[in-house]
Chain A
Amino acid sequence: MEANSSVAALRLQGILTHLSPPSSTIPPPPLPLSLSTLSSQQININMSSYFANVPQAPADGILKLSVLSRADTNSTKVDLGVGAYRDDSGKPWVLPVVRKAEQQLAADPQANHEYLGVGGLPALTQGAQKLIFGADSEAIKQQRVYSIQTISGTGANMVAAVFLKQFKQPADAAVYISKPTWGNHRSIFETAGHVVREYRYCNYTTLGLDIQGMLDDLRAAPRGQIILLHACAHNPTGIDPTTEQWQQIADVMQERSHFPLFDCAYQGFATGDVTRDAYAIRLFVSRGFELLVAQSFAKNMGLYGERTGCLHAVTALPEVLPQVSSQLNRLSRATISTAPAYGAKIAGTVLQDAELYEEWLGSMEMMSRRIKKMRDLLRDKLVALGTPGSWDHVSQQIGMFSFTGLSKKKVDRLREEYHLYMTDDGRISVAGLNSGNIDYVAKAIDVVVRSD
């Protein structure tokens, strides 16, 4: 078989060399070459391709799932895949304050599409700072915080990753991510050139926090590692440390001189209260840590596709801020030049207008309440059905996602037989549940759990 194909390929090379114009120095095509592309009509002069050896890449898991889900036309379909908020009718929900801000912008005769400065829109970055660190934050008052606008949370993580790769100390510090974490985290930090390690996080038996495992791993790590922490509403598990546990984590991090990198994509979405959801970050700042915070407005302001986010750097001294900001600016310039304006203007408007801000807080509270209600309902229904196992974790977990504990086999079965979509790790986006589908979902889970 191999001999045949190499003979065929050699014959091919001969034909192609014959076809190429004599003056060209086009190299012969790399082997193997797909024979099916060489009908006589399709032959063109430039037969070689620099990209002939580019391998097919695997599709992104979560996004692949949404492609599958979108293609499924079955009326019972339930999409619990992508982490985007849905209302009780299962529809995307654009927040009223967002619509109001958009109307304001549309009515403004001075509005234009000019480039933002490299740091981003001040109305956004300043408002975002206050949101995360508190309006009365000492760190902000002491001018120890630099904030740069980013392409949502992913962009903030990536800027942080590239910055840390260049400037972290020690130079061989690894980035530690929770086991498990958002799928894109490992990719981001490895792409930026870091070694990525894991710390224990999820107790797969209780589906709660493995606090002892986490503390042990942080203590065992070499000094000065970079620790990626989810500020609230952990993705994918929905398991958050309590305030006491956060204090223990801060203690160990201080002991081992670790560097905290917070990913804050759900502020306001976890408990419904932005101050409570910022507890961990503010605790670390008050303890004197220097840190980075990647912040997203995708979920809590429903700005998803507008790609609105920030990266905040908190330093111990104001003197080093100019150096830090200049380097963050430089990195951003080489990737995107400047950040997208529209989403920033919407968010900036909401953050800076007292009335809109209050209304926004109310919307977040409403979204998180609906999600909590769905959690409790799902748990109650599973208990009522007598579904084997304990389901308390569904209502104890927090934020958009719940780590159900369902195996891949069950996940596949739910998808294939019940048109119920969730990621392979058993994570459901609770926001996809509503009063219309919750019975169906509970029954489907019940059947599948009982089946083996």
Chain B
Amino acid sequence: MLAALKSAAVLKPSSLRQLATWAHIPMGPPDTILGITEAFKRDPHAQKMNLGAGAYRTDNGHPYVLSSVRKAEHSLLAQLQDKEYLPITGLAQFTDAATKLAYGAQSPALQGGRLAVTQSISGTGALRIGAEFLNKHYPNHQVYLPNPTWGNHGAIFRASGLEVKQYRYFDKSTNGLNLEAMLEDIREMPQGSVVLLHACAHNPTGVDPSLEQWAEIQQAMEEKGHLAFFDMAYQGFASGDADRDAGALRMFVEGDRVPVVLAQSFAKNMGLYGERVGTFSVVSNDKEERDRVLSQMKILIRPLYSNPPVYGARIAAEVLTNEELRKEWLAEVKMMADRIIGMRSALRSELENLGSKREWKHVTDQIGMFCYTGLLPEQVDSLARDYHIYLTRDGRVSIAGITSGNVKYLAESIHAVTKD
């Protein structure tokens, strides 16, 4: 019909142009992760499971609004605060508390006004600000991402004009870390490259380096003068201990041999997902440099969205700075992490009890919200089609979607598609 209309001689030039305006636009690729949720929603089957998007679920399979968060919200509501614009860099009370949480209150990064920090639109926004900043102010425009990595990383960095490359990370044969290859690749990269590191609970594999391995990574990065871009979306969620989970980040900062920038998210560990709460920070040499860096960050942010949303930041600030709420929050994060660790155990046991011939040790070795099962795309498709279980085609399972009520069904289904 479009072609017929275009060829009609009767059309005025303006109409032709109108028809031409959008017709040439290609269909964008479907979003792999968000697309899973959509397919899941359409499925009417009673036993369906959504193991796609990384959002925590209770053992009843429901979203969980943290009690500490709810209390903070009620307290804030009672205060009847206004909704005036935040400054470009966001709520200072929030960014102060957030960076103390990430770096440690006594961190050298927080001494002498060195830290340039801005509130961001959760982790995605932090990565985007970081990428834009590096594209504009850093000489080397190649960023190296681990293979594999979160599906949206590449798009964010590319949108900012950086060239995206990979370093080897996951070892398919062991379902663990291929440290040797990773170090080799780091040493191969051009001097002063930007290297993206998952601070903890690697997404999608759940495979984290040990502290000793981190020390080796730091060494290799120092040798080549690389810059470490840490993405920390799961602090507290990996081991259940916020300080422990920040171990790698803090090692690098205290080592002071590799420059560090950090994208931090409170989506998962505070369950603030949709409120878009995060920070981006640059550990500068001193306050003077910090001032310049911060001034440039503001220049980048203003045309993107002017200033960040206030609601989630106020909640996070309240939770982090109120003694009681903070304690309660840390306990809730541990509880969430423990439930996930428990489900990993349960899944592995069930699979082994079913007599699966495959190795499932990696299910409990891996850490955080995700498990890289090793399932092949065809097996993933079969799980969706025949068993109404939805996960991403790389075999990544969101453990948070598993409950004591459905772990058996999951194990049986996985066993069914993998036993031959």
Complex contacts, A329 vs chain B, CB 8 Å: 28, 31
A37→B302 contact, CB < 8 A: no
- Render B79-91 as a binary contact track against A, CB cut-off 8 A, 1 for contact: 0101111111000
Knowing A335-B124, A340-B275, say if A46 contacts B259 (CB, 8 Å): yes
Complex contacts, B47 vs chain A, CB 8 Å: none
User: B126 to nearest A CB, angstroms?
Assistant: 11
Complex contacts, A254 vs chain B, CB 8 Å: 14
Q: Which of B29, B74, B128 is close to A335, meaning CB atoms less than 8 Å apart?
A: B128
A224→B17 contact, CB < 8 A: yes
B192 within 8 A of A: yes
User: B407 to nearest A CB, angstroms?
Assistant: 22
A54→B292 contact, CB < 8 A: yes
Knowing A51-B284, A305-B85, A338-B274, say if A191 contacts B298 (CB, 8 Å): no
B21→A37 contact, CB < 8 A: no
A152→B152 contact, CB < 8 A: no
A334→B84 contact, CB < 8 A: no
A10 within 8 A of B: no
A53 nearest CB neighbor, chain B only:
B137
Q: Which of A63, A154, A289, A330 is close to B303, meaning CB atoms less than 8 Å apart?
A: A154
Q: Which of B15, B28, B227 is close to A50, meaning CB atoms less than 8 Å apart?
A: B227
- Chain A: number of interface residues, binned into ranges: 35 or more
Give the contacts of A89-103 with B (CB-CB under 8 A).
Answer: 92, 94, 98-99, 102-103
Give the contacts of B248-307 with A (CB-CB under 8 A).
Answer: 256-257, 259, 267, 271-276, 282, 284-286, 288-289, 291-293, 295-296, 298-299, 302-307
Q: Which of A23, A46, A60, A113 is close to B271, meaning CB atoms less than 8 Å apart?
A: A113
Complex contacts, A113 vs chain B, CB 8 Å: 63, 65, 69, 271-275, 312
User: B401 to nearest A CB, angstroms?
Assistant: 13
Complex contacts, A34 vs chain B, CB 8 Å: 288
A342 nearest CB neighbor, chain B only:
B311
Give the contacts of B118-175 with A (CB-CB under 8 A).
Answer: 121-122, 124-125, 128, 137-139, 152, 155-156, 158-159
User: B171 to nearest A CB, angstroms?
Assistant: 29
Among the stretches A315-323, A388-396, A401-409, A421-429, the one at the interface with B is: A315-323
B55→A307 contact, CB < 8 A: no
Complex contacts, B19 vs chain A, CB 8 Å: 316-317
A111→B65 contact, CB < 8 A: yes
Q: Which of A53, A54, A57, A341 is close to B275, meaning CB atoms less than 8 Å apart?
A: A341
B82 nearest CB neighbor, chain A only:
A92
Knowing A259-B21, A343-B311, say if A54 contacts B293 (CB, 8 Å): yes
B16 nearest CB neighbor, chain A only:
A257
Complex contacts, A26 vs chain B, CB 8 Å: 225
Size of the chain B interface, CB-CB below 8 angstroms: 91
- Render A172-190 as a binary contact track against B, CB cut-off 8 A, 1 for contact: 0000000000001001100
The complex places the Cα of A338 from the Cα of B275 at a distance, in Å, of: 9
Knowing A26-B225, A84-B85, say if A334 contacts B152 (CB, 8 Å): yes
Give the contacts of A302-359 with B (CB-CB under 8 A).
Answer: 302-307, 315-317, 319-320, 322-324, 326-327, 329-331, 333-343
User: A268 to nearest B CB, angstroms?
Assistant: 17
Q: Which of A42, A46, A53, A320 is close to B25, meaning CB atoms less than 8 Å apart?
A: A320
A124 within 8 A of B: no
A118→B31 contact, CB < 8 A: yes
A158→B87 contact, CB < 8 A: no
The complex places the Cα of A228 from the Cα of B154 at a distance, in Å, of: 32
The complex places the Cα of A331 from the Cα of B155 at a distance, in Å, of: 9
B307→A307 contact, CB < 8 A: yes
The complex places the Cα of A316 from the Cα of B25 at a distance, in Å, of: 14
Complex contacts, A317 vs chain B, CB 8 Å: 2, 19, 22
User: B333 to nearest A CB, angstroms?
Assistant: 15
A118→B225 contact, CB < 8 A: no
A188 nearest CB neighbor, chain B only:
B303
The complex places the Cα of A376 from the Cα of B307 at a distance, in Å, of: 33
B85→A45 contact, CB < 8 A: no
Complex contacts, B1 vs chain A, CB 8 Å: 319
Complex contacts, A343 vs chain B, CB 8 Å: 309, 311
Complex contacts, A23 vs chain B, CB 8 Å: 223
17 A-B residue pairs with Cβ-Cβ distance under 8 Å, sorted by A, are A27-B191, A27-B192, A45-B257, A51-B284, A54-B293, A54-B296, A60-B88, A114-B273, A187-B303, A188-B303, A259-B21, A307-B308, A323-B22, A329-B31, A334-B155, A340-B311, A342-B311
Instruction: Identify the A interface with B (CB < 8 A).
Output: 23-27, 34, 37, 42, 44-46, 49-60, 63, 82, 84, 92, 94, 98-99, 102-103, 106, 111-118, 151-152, 154-155, 158, 167, 169, 184, 187-188, 191-192, 224, 254-255, 257, 259, 288-290, 298, 302-307, 315-317, 319-320, 322-324, 326-327, 329-331, 333-343
Instruction: Identify the B interface with A (CB < 8 A).
Output: 1-2, 13-15, 17-31, 34, 53, 55, 63, 65, 69, 73-74, 77, 80, 82-88, 121-122, 124-125, 128, 137-139, 152, 155-156, 158-159, 191-192, 222-225, 227, 256-257, 259, 267, 271-276, 282, 284-286, 288-289, 291-293, 295-296, 298-299, 302-312
- A154-B306, A323-B27 are known; give 16 further A-B pairs, CB within 8 A: A49-B285, A60-B298, A60-B302, A94-B80, A114-B63, A155-B306, A158-B304, A255-B14, A288-B15, A307-B306, A317-B2, A319-B2, A323-B28, A334-B128, A335-B128, A341-B276
Closest 4 pairs (CB-CB, A-B): A341-B274, A326-B28, A305-B310, A151-B305
